[in-house]
Structure 1
Amino acid sequence: MAVDTIPETAVSPRPIAPTRRQQIKLFRIYNHYRLVVSLVLLGLLFVDPENFYNRFRLLEYYQAGVAGYLSLNAFIALAILAGFRPSHRHITISILLDILVMHGLLFTSTGITNGLANLVIVSVAAGNILTPSRMGTFYAALAAICSLGISGWAVLALNEPADDIVRAGSLGILYFAAAFILQNISIRMMRSEALASSRAKSIAELEKINQQIIQRMRTGILVLDRYGSIRLANAAAEELLSGATDNGHTHPEHLMSLPQALKLGLEDWLNDPRKRIEPFQPSPTAHFLQVNFTQLDEDRGDQILVFIEDMSKVTQQAQQMKLASLGRLTAGIAHEIRNPLGAISHAAQLMEESTHLDQGDHQMLDIIRRHSRRVNGIIENVLDLSRRRAANPDLLEIGPWLREFREDFLQTRDNKTTHISLEIHPDLPPARFDKSQIEQVMVNLCDNGLRYSQQRIGEPRISLHADVTADGERAYVDVRDFGPGIKAEDRSSIFEPFFTTDKSGTGLGLYLARELCEANQAHLSLVEDDQPGCCFRITFAHPGRMI
């Protein structure tokens, strides 16, 4: 699983500016503030006009400045509303204009003693928030110089008291204090936000990696509540449990409910958490599954984590170990068995040439030859299992491959008497498998099907059907014959080694076929339905989730 760590280089050590989106958002808010201020200034001209006429130095210029300031802010607001995205340069010019316009209004009104001087502090503060860099210090310096210039001009030209210079100096100190404090606060906030953003991005990446790992795991994982409702299911869980409806024609996007056997297992575990749940099959064509439950939250216990294991893998490993030992044993004694077996077969051939044999003797010789071939076949099959090579899967389209297989197989049979019908779904997903190994499985199933169909209906006939599983992501192939079928008591044993209902068979054909399917992460099963004969299904693995 992925380790939850944050790279040291993920966070920039010195973020000096807000992000582009933050800048635009903050500037939009600041422009709304400027628009309100300009409207208030314009409104004050009409509230007490006589007072303005008596006190203001250059009233006409002041009125023109207020009207121009309102027009500028209104134009910028309309441009932003229309989708204009101001750049860093536009923001800088806007702050500089604000400082200059405010001091122009101070100059044309009553000077530095006017309350408009307090609005300059807001402009300097906004500039340091929007551009927390050396430019913010320049805003404070420009504002301080303009304030000192206005107060100095008033003292020299208008004989104003020198207190205005002291007030201008105090305002300059406030400008620089606001600049330094807000720069420090803004940088700290942006560093914190950058760190949070970086960690959120890292967590999102880790979550994505973990999601990919969980989805590609071959162990099924479910998250349930205490009532059995599914909160989360990975792809393997859907694939293992969807076998419960693989005969249907629906295409569920997710598992909607638990199989009945799993519900009963959950109830038993809730009653006794120490109890081990017995393996179960979601459907007759599905694998045996082993489930384990655990609580996600020990204190609350409202969510339950379920691990679903495919028991066929454990069974396959045990059988492989058994067959490996059997193969070594067979390889060791094959020579010793074949020598006397060859002598028995040769003696039977010589005896058959004798002219002194009656009908009973010929029957006995036939038994000797038949069972000699059977013993030799058993040895060959076990040796083949012990020498089986690893699968080399390729991504193939099922439809073209199945048509090609049918043509090749018919060439090995009597085309005039052998009938193989073929039905292929038009939208089959591809499958990944070793072509030669699956063809060996298909040959085995087709040979068996033709033989049993011949016994029951008098002609070798089978049907091949390729379709899509209920989850819509995997393909399967059915091989159906028209023979006598398999007895109910034998259905659970047909894939076991050396089990056979045919006196001439070795009992290893279906076992070898299932082993080859499992080597390709496919599954061979017997479909139990009301149709005549037998139907064997090869369900291929999801091509994107094979490991």
Structure 2
Amino acid sequence: MSGRFLAREIADHPTASDWRVLRALTAYRWIVSVIALALIYLDLAGQALGVIRSDVFLIVALATALHAMGATVTLEMRRPALDAQTLFQSIADMTGVGLWMWATNGVASGLGVLLVFPMIAASLLLNRRMVLLVAAVTSIGLLALESLRTLSSPNAQALTEAGLLGLLMFAMGLVSHAMAGRARRSEALARQVGGDLVSLSRLNESIVARIRAGVVAVTGNGTVQLVNPAARRLIELDTSIHGQPLDAVTPALGAALARWRADPNIHMDPIPLPGGRALSAQFVRLGWGDYAPVLIMLEDADALAQQAQQIKLAALGRLSASIAHEIRNPLAAISNAAQLLEESPELSEDDRALNAIVRRNSSRIESIVRDVLSLSRPAPGAPIPIPLHAECSAHFEQFRESGQHEHCQLDLHQIDKSVHIVADPDHLRRILTNLWENSCEHAASRPVRLRIAARSDGEQVTIELSDNGPGIPTDVVEHVFEPFFTTRSSGTGLGLYLARELARNNGGHLDLVSARPGARFQLQLPAGNSVHHETLTA
């Protein structure tokens, strides 16, 4: 930053410190004028300063006092501009001191020291050109003063002293101006760095606030310095914990931090919290030393486990789909060969029975392959309004006629015939088929009674599907929607998983709401153009 730019900044945008310098110069002027008037009043001016012309000395003292008074007014008004006030007042001060020196013994009187403060003030507030102007005016005035004095009494030494004093004004002005410029550059840099730090701090706070993981910053003595909203949710905090000890806020996390400080390489198990939840914590030291500040990253351990499970299942699904695709071609050849063999007139009854087994199991494998492929390539649906009662009734007849579900009965009395849903018809049939097959195959008694009830709130239709079976074992409940999980040797473990995925594809959701006695699933789908009723009772 150049001196010219700094001078322009001072002129256009003077700071409070600039006005304080001018105020100090005005106070200095008051003090000098009061002392001068006091010396005149006490008749000590001649003795103390060697005053030769007391009338001139008095006039200059009064003028200096009036100058101080006027400067006080303009200073409070801040009019005219700072640089204009400084230039005028500095030259006026130099002139006044010069006249005092003329009224005394000149340079020998020692009053030249009064030029120092006005010169420094001008150097701090004016640009270099104006500083040189003030120094030049002062030097020329001093030389002119001593030249006039030497006309009556020649004194070469006085001229030399006046010249040296003028050089001192130049040197003092330039050095003070350079030091002031450096100080202003440092101040400007400090303001810029301070602004950058504030902006960076706000940016960091904004980023930390939007991070999904919990973030807690702890000082070296274990005091909470920062906590983001995600961490507040994970730790279940209702009040501010800034400045509180971490041990007092969450003892489990505080104990984990203490263990990590003792051994940073320790394997950190999930941190248990009240309510059966657990947190996964990562600790990062922010600095050097054992008691440097620490950044703690928190995540829900259960959510991480679910994500890992989803990644594993996705990889398994892709692998299974690849295998299923390779199986499909030879399976088609086997099915075609079995069909051609069935048409042979020379086939015995025993061979026909064996061929029927081949065809039946080929169809079963084809169904499994189709389900597996649907995991990786879900078919896009075409949702339309569907009358729920009529669709369930018609599809159940087809379900019973499949040949293996004659013992199943369906109760639709708790579905109002006006209730409509919005879904893909094929997807809805597959969801119902998978749920009904699951109930019929696990039923311990005959007949199997299936019940469907529904209620609509205008936007969503909640469908509850239940049976009279034994229900689902407690240790199996959390796994029922996982792909490839089954408790039967003949099952694929894809039925309920596919049913949930199809529900999601249609803007709905499928959940197990009661495991026993009798399984009860809840299916939510968008409502269609129906007359809305509350039809489900407790």
TM over 0.5: yes
Deviation at 1:183, TM superposition (A): 2.9
Question: Would the aligned equivalents of 1:331 and 1:383 in 2 still touch at CA under 8 Å?
Answer: yes
Question: Would the aligned equivalents of 1:495 and 1:511 in 2 still touch at CA under 8 Å?
Answer: yes
Residues 262 and 30 of structure 1: CA distance in aligned 2, closer, same or farther (over 3 Å)? closer
1:228-249 CA distance string (max 9 Å, x none): 75433456x43xx72565xxxx
Of 448, 459, 465 in structure 1, the residue corresponding to residue 453 of structure 2 is 459
| Partner secondary structure for residue 507 of structure 1 | helix
Counterpart Cα distance in 2 of 1:252 and 1:97 = 64
Of 30, 34, 56 in structure 1, the residue corresponding to residue 21 of structure 2 is 30
Deviation at 1:186, TM superposition (A): 2.8
The equivalent of 1:544 in structure 2 is none
Task: Establish whether residue 329 from structure 1 lines up as the match of residue 323 from structure 2.
Answer: yes
The equivalent of 1:137 in structure 2 is 132
How many matched pairs?
441
Question: Would the aligned equivalents of 1:27 and 1:130 in 2 still touch at CA under 8 Å?
Answer: yes
| Partner secondary structure for residue 146 of structure 1 | helix
Counterpart Cα distance in 1 of 2:119 and 2:164 = 15
| Partner secondary structure for residue 482 of structure 2 | coil
Task: State how 1:445-484 maps to structure 2 within 5 Å.
Answer: 458-461=452-455
The equivalent of 2:440 in structure 1 is none
Question: Would the aligned equivalents of 1:295 and 1:303 in 2 still touch at CA under 8 Å?
Answer: yes
Counterpart Cα distance in 1 of 2:55 and 2:90 = 25
1:290-329 CA distance string (max 9 Å, x none): 4333444552325333334644444433332222111111
Of 497, 502, 520 in structure 1, the residue corresponding to residue 483 of structure 2 is 497
Of 203, 223, 236 in structure 1, the residue corresponding to residue 217 of structure 2 is 223
| Partner secondary structure for residue 291 of structure 1 | strand
The equivalent of 1:122 in structure 2 is 117
Counterpart Cα distance in 2 of 1:372 and 1:85 = 101
| Partner secondary structure for residue 40 of structure 1 | helix
Counterpart Cα distance in 1 of 2:339 and 2:256 = 56
| TM-score (ref. length: structure 2) | 0.61
Counterpart Cα distance in 1 of 2:479 and 2:207 = 36
Counterpart Cα distance in 1 of 2:510 and 2:184 = 60
Residues 298 and 64 of structure 1: CA distance in aligned 2, closer, same or farther (over 3 Å)? closer
| TM-score (ref. length: structure 1) | 0.60
Counterpart Cα distance in 2 of 1:259 and 1:420 = 50
Of 384, 397, 402 in structure 1, the residue corresponding to residue 374 of structure 2 is 384
| Partner secondary structure for residue 267 of structure 2 | coil
Of 484, 492, 495 in structure 2, the residue corresponding to residue 506 of structure 1 is 495
Q: What code does the residue aligned with 2:325 have?
A: A
1:107-129 CA distance string (max 9 Å, x none): 56665455543222211122222
Counterpart Cα distance in 1 of 2:196 and 2:64 = 50
Query: Percent of aligned pairs with the same residue?
Result: 19
Counterpart Cα distance in 1 of 2:336 and 2:227 = 58
Task: State how 1:40-119 maps to structure 2 within 5 Å.
Answer: 40-44=31-35, 45-46=37-38, 48-49=40-41, 51=43, 55-59=53-57, 61-80=59-78, 86-107=81-102, 111-119=106-114
Q: What code does the residue aligned with 2:123 have?
A: N
Residues 162 and 227 of structure 1: CA distance in aligned 2, closer, same or farther (over 3 Å)? closer
Q: What code does the residue aligned with 1:37 have?
A: Y
Counterpart Cα distance in 1 of 2:227 and 2:219 = 12
1:153-203 CA distance string (max 9 Å, x none): 3333x6585554333223112101212322332333344445555555555
Q: CA RMSD in A?
A: 5.6
The equivalent of 1:475 in structure 2 is none
1:343-399 CA distance string (max 9 Å, x none): 999999x9xxxxxxxxxxxxxx9xx99x9987655433432332369xxxxxxxxxx
Residues 151 and 139 of structure 1: CA distance in aligned 2, closer, same or farther (over 3 Å)? same
Q: What code does the residue aligned with 2:122 have?
A: G
The equivalent of 1:470 in structure 2 is none
Question: Would the aligned equivalents of 1:500 and 1:506 in 2 still touch at CA under 8 Å?
Answer: no
Task: Establish whether residue 276 from structure 1 lines up as the match of residue 267 from structure 2.
Answer: yes
Task: Establish whether residue 177 from structure 1 lines up as the match of residue 171 from structure 2.
Answer: yes
The equivalent of 1:188 in structure 2 is 182
Residues 176 and 33 of structure 1: CA distance in aligned 2, closer, same or farther (over 3 Å)? same
Residues 384 and 94 of structure 1: CA distance in aligned 2, closer, same or farther (over 3 Å)? farther
Of residues 264-273 and 166-175 in structure 1, the stretch that sits farther from structure 2 once superposed is 264-273
Task: Say which one has the larger Rg.
Answer: 2
1:74-120 CA distance string (max 9 Å, x none): 1133224xxx6944444444433433344355456665455543222
Higher relative contact order (CA 8 A, sep 6+): 1
Counterpart Cα distance in 1 of 2:129 and 2:472 = 88
Counterpart Cα distance in 1 of 2:333 and 2:5 = 89
| Partner secondary structure for residue 496 of structure 2 | coil
Counterpart Cα distance in 2 of 1:343 and 1:89 = 108
Q: Which sections of structure 1, spanning at least 5 residues, go unmatched?
A: 1-11, 351-364, 390-407, 422-435, 466-477, 518-522, 538-547
Q: What code does the residue aligned with 1:278 have?
A: D
Counterpart Cα distance in 2 of 1:197 and 1:316 = 51
Residues 59 and 160 of structure 1: CA distance in aligned 2, closer, same or farther (over 3 Å)? farther
Q: Which sections of structure 2, spanning at least 5 residues, go unmatched?
A: 47-51, 344-355, 390-414, 437-448, 525-538
Question: Would the aligned equivalents of 1:323 and 1:386 in 2 still touch at CA under 8 Å?
Answer: yes
Deviation at 1:143, TM superposition (A): 0.9
